[in-house]
Structure 1
Amino acid sequence: MFPFGLLSIYLVSTLVCLVILYVWKYRRYYYLAFQIPGPSILRMLHILFVCIIIEKLEVVHKILAKLIHEERSSSPCMIKFWYGTKLMIFLLEPNLIRKVYQTHLRKDPLSYSLTNPILNGPSIFQNNDIPTWKAHRKIISHASFSMTALKVHVKIFHEEAQILATKLGLKAVNRQPLEPEKMMGLSSLSMVVRAVTGLDFKIQQNFHDQHPFLSAGTYGLEMVGTRIANPWLLIPAIFNLSGYKKREEAACKQVRVFAEEIIGKIKAKVSEQMKNFLEDSKTNNFLCNYIEVTIRDQLNPTIPRRHVMTHDELVSEIIAILAAGMDTTKSTNTIILIMLALH
C-alpha cells in the first residue's frame, strides 16, 4: 500500500518549514508591523469567519462598523489590516496624509496596480514620482479648486439638481415606490463633468438609465474587488485566461473613449481661441478647469515639456478625477434625497 500517512507528514512538515523560513526572512517587517495599532490577524480571521456565516448584509455592516469604531477610538491616526501576508495601512489624519504624500510616495503596488487598467495608467492618486506628483497636483488644484471655480460649481449643481428633481417628480406622480439610483448616477456624473471640464453633454436629458462611462467605470471598480476577494485572480496567467480580462479591457476602452471625447472638445475650443487671438477676452477668465490649462500648455512650444502633462497622463487624470468626484457627489446627493424623503 502507498504510505499516504507518511506522505501527509512530509507535506505538512515541508509546509511548516516554508512558513517558518518565510517569517524568519521577513522578521523585521512583521516585527515593525505588529507595533502599528490595528486588529490582530486572529481577530480579522474571526470577523471574516463570522461575515461568511452571516448572510444578512445589515448584520455584516454593523459588525464592520463596530470594528472600525473600536479601532479608530484606540488609534485615531491610522488603522492596519492584513491581506494574507501583506500589510495594508489606512491613514486617517489629514495632516499625516499630507506629510506622507510630500515625503514618501511608495504606495501599495498590489491594490493600486489593480486600478491602473480602468484609470488607463497611474494618475495623481498613484504617481510615486514626487516632482511629477507635485507638478500635477499644483495644476489641478490651482485651476479647478479656486474660489472662482467653486462659485461656478454651485450654479452647475443647482441646475442639475433642478433637472433631477423634475425627473423624480414625474416618477412620483402615481405615489408608487421608485428606484432613484440610476437617475442619481446620471445627475452626479453630469454635475462632475460640467464642474471639472466646463462642458455640458446634457447627460440627464440624453440618457435614461445608464451612461457608458458609468457602466464601464462601475465594472472596473467591481473587478478590483473581485480580484482582491479571489486571490488566484491576482496571478496574471489565470486572470488572462478568465473571461474577466476581456470584459475589463472593453470597460477600459469605453472609459478612455469618454475621456478622449472631452479632450477633443476642449482642444478644439482652445485651438479656436488661440487662432483668433482671444487670450485677453472674457473667455480666458474662465480657465477654471485644469484640462484647458494643460491643453494650452501642450500647444505652447515655449513651455518645457517636462512641466507639461502628456496626453496619456491627462487621460488618466481626467478618469481619476471624474471617478473620485462621482463617488463623493453621488453619496452626498443620495443622503440629501433620503433626508428629504424622511422629512
Structure 2
Amino acid sequence: MVYEIWSPIPSPIRPCPMIFLNSPEYVQKLLNSSESAHLGKSFAYNPCKPFWHDGLIISKGDKWKSRRKLLTHIVTFKNLQSYMDIYNKESISLVKKLDDHFSHCPKNKAKTIDELLMTSSLNIIMEAAMGTDITKMTAAGDKSFVESVNTCMEIVVTRVLNPWLMIDWIWKLHPMSKYGFEVVSSARQYVRQTMEQNKKGKLDGEQTSLIEDLQEAGLTEEEITGEVFTIISAGYETTATTIHFLLFLLSLHPNHQELCRDEIDTVFDDPELCPGGNLTNAAFGKLKHLERCIQETLRFYPVVPVFQRHIEAPLELEKGVVIPANSVVTLFPQGIHMNPKYFPEPEKFNPDRFSIEEVKARPPFAYIPFSAGTQEVFGVQVCDAGSDELECENFEEFCGDHERYLG
C-alpha cells in the first residue's frame, strides 16, 4: 500500500511530495536499497544536526556507509562480552534503588520508576561509550554532560512536535534556542577531556571505551563528539522506555511474567551461565520467553515510532509503481505491526508470535521496531543485551512472590 499527500510542511527549499508506505514488501524495497540516493534523511532530522553533527543518524551516502561499517566493526556481538561487567554492575544497582524506592511506599500505592530506568540506561551507555560512571560524576557535583544530553533531547522533541519551529529563523526566536550552543560546547569539552585522559593510557584489563576506539580509527574531535552524542542521546531513552513498557505489559499479563521468572531462575541457578550471580552472554541465549516478550513489547511500542527518507532518485517498488525523485517517504512501524494480516488479533499481547515458526511465516519487514535492512538502527545488540540484563535482575528480585509482583 502506498499513500501520497502534498506535504503541508515545507522542506528547507520548497514543498515536496510525501509518500507513506504501509506494505512490508514496499518497505523492504526502500530499506534494503544500497543506493546512496535512497539513504538521505528528510528535513525532520534537522533539529538533531547541531548536536549530532554529521554522525551516523544524520549522515548519508558514502559517508554513512563508511561510518556504519566502522561502528559495526567496533560494536560486534563478540565485543559485548567486554560490556557485561557494566551491565551486571548497573542492573544490581538498579535493583537496590528500586527496593529502596518501594520500601517506603504504602501498599497498593503507585510510584513512578521512569527516572530510575533512565538513569540506569544512561549510566550503561555513558560507561560503554566514554568510560565514565555518571553516578560518580553526579556525586562529585559534575552534572554538565548529563544535563547536556537531557537538554538536547528536550530541544529536539520541542522542535519536532511544533512543526513551525523546524524553520530555523523562527526557532532562533524561541527562548530555548539559546541553550543549543551551550549543549554543544559542553559536549565537546567533555569529549576533549576524555580524549586527553585516554592519551595517558589505561591500566591492564581496564575497560576500553567507544571514544578510544574512534580515536584509534582516526576520527577527528568533532566527528567523535557527533558519534558519541548520537549514541548516548538516541540510545539511553529508547532502552529505558522499552523496559518501562515491558514492565507495564507484563504487569497486565502475570502468566507471562511467571514464565519469565521461571526461565530466569533456571539461568541464575546454573553456575556456568551465571557465575557468582553475574549473567554472561551465553545466558541470554537461554532466555527465550523473555526475548519474545521484549519483541512483542516492541511490536506494540517500537523504538523508532516514525522515520523518514529523502529520495533523491526514483525508486521502483514494482512494475508501474515508482516513488519519484525528491520525495519524502514516511514509515510508521506501529501501523505495520498492528496489521491483522501479519499479526492476527494485533491488540492481544502474545509473545508466541515470535516463535521460530511464526517469524518464518511472516514477511521479514512486517516487524521493524529498529528500522531494518541496510538502515537498521545501529547498536541493536547493545540495546537488547542491556534490556535483557536489567530485566533479569528485576525479575529475580521483584517477582519471587505475589506480594512483590510487578503488577
In structure 1, what residue type is equivalent to 2:169?
A
Matches within 5 A, 1:88-107: 88=18, 96=29, 98-104=31-37, 107=40
Q: Secondary structure at the match of 1:342?
A: coil
Q: Work out the CA distance in 2 between the residues paired with 1:245 and 1:179.
A: 30
Report the TM-score when normalising by structure 1: 0.59
Asked whether the 8 Å contact 1:187–1:203 carries over to 2, the reply is no
Shift of 1:86: 4.1
Matches within 5 A, 1:169-180: 169-176=99-106, 177-180=110-113
Asked whether the 8 Å contact 1:118–1:217 carries over to 2, the reply is no
Asked whether the 8 Å contact 2:152–2:233 carries over to 1, the reply is no
Aligned counterpart for 2:200 among listed residues 268, 288, 303: 268
Asked whether the 8 Å contact 1:216–1:255 carries over to 2, the reply is yes
Deviations 1:169-222 (A, max 9, x none): 11211224433222221111111122334x142527845999544443333233
Shift of 1:155: 3.4
Aligned counterpart for 2:74 among listed residues 140, 143, 152: 143
Aligned counterpart for 2:187 among listed residues 246, 255, 273: 255
Pair 252,200 (structure 1): closer, same or farther in 2 beyond 3 Å:
closer
Count of residues in correspondence between the two structures:
243
Percent of aligned positions that are identical:
20
Q: Work out the CA distance in 2 between the residues paired with 1:160 and 1:166.
A: 10
Moved more, 212-221 or 109-118: 212-221
Q: Secondary structure at the match of 2:3?
A: coil
Aligned to 2:45: 112
Aligned to 1:293: 213
Pair 115,246 (structure 1): closer, same or farther in 2 beyond 3 Å:
same
Report the TM-score when normalising by structure 2: 0.50
Pair 315,180 (structure 1): closer, same or farther in 2 beyond 3 Å:
same
Q: Work out the CA distance in 2 between the residues paired with 1:89 and 1:219.
A: 32
Aligned to 1:333: 243
Asked whether the 8 Å contact 1:193–1:200 carries over to 2, the reply is yes
Pair 166,111 (structure 1): closer, same or farther in 2 beyond 3 Å:
same
Q: Work out the CA distance in 2 between the residues paired with 1:209 and 1:187.
A: 18
Which entry has the higher C-alpha Rg, 1 or 2?
1
Matches within 5 A, 1:304-343: 308-338=218-248, 339=250, 342-343=406-407
Deviations 1:136-167 (A, max 9, x none): 222211112241x1123333212101101111
Shift of 1:333: 3.0
Q: Which runs of 5+ in 1 are unaligned?
A: 1-35, 42-80, 274-280, 298-307
Aligned counterpart for 1:236 among listed residues 151, 157, 168: 168
Shift of 1:262: 3.4
Asked whether the 8 Å contact 1:194–1:200 carries over to 2, the reply is yes
Q: Is 1:192 the equivalent of 2:122?
A: no
In structure 2, what residue type is equivalent to 1:115?
C
Asked whether the 8 Å contact 1:140–1:290 carries over to 2, the reply is no
Q: Secondary structure at the match of 1:122?
A: coil
Aligned counterpart for 2:116 among listed residues 183, 186, 201: 183
Aligned counterpart for 2:154 among listed residues 222, 228, 247: 222
Greater share of helix = 1
Aligned to 2:85: 155
Asked whether the 8 Å contact 1:118–1:252 carries over to 2, the reply is yes
